Amino acid sequence: MSHGLLWFPLLLAFVLLAALGWLERRRQSLFRTWAEGAELVKLDGCGGAQLKDGRLVWCRFEAGKFQDQGDFDVCRLELVELMALASGDAPLTVESQGPCRLRLVGTDLQMDVPFSDADQARSWGDQLMARARCDL
């Protein structure tokens, strides 16, 4: 009996890990469907984003589906800034790492897109500015 009680936590851990793996696989499968046909896509811990037909749309995975959080017309993009994720309006330096957000500034609006990785956010900022210049 005592041997069975020792193995019981391991059994629970295995079931928990299997369930988490299934949820992650489902999230990735739903993301592939959501991002189909997009020019530029990302999926990380902060959510997903896609650039499709000149519109940048970002979402968050909630309750088993992707909930849109916002969209931005890339043709109206004037400036992209890399900002700290949680500390107000603090811009990040070139060597900064970790979670951050891209601030998209357009003609009459401003939106923030969260990222888990600053290097990926920098790459996205460069690509979005290149596409905005091509559309002019």
Class of 35-135 in CATH? mainly beta
Q: What was the pLDDT predicted at 136?
A: 47
Characterize 37-72 residue by residue with b for buried, 16 or more Cβ atoms within 10 angstroms of its Cβ, and e for exposed. ebebbbbeebbbbbbeeeebbbbebeeeebeebeeb
What is this structure's pTM?
Answer: 0.74
What strands lie across the sheet with 65-73, from one edge to the other?
40-44, 47-52, 55-62, 65-73
pLDDT block averages, 10 residues each, the chain of length 136: 80 94 90 88 86 88 82 85 73 72 85 86 86 62
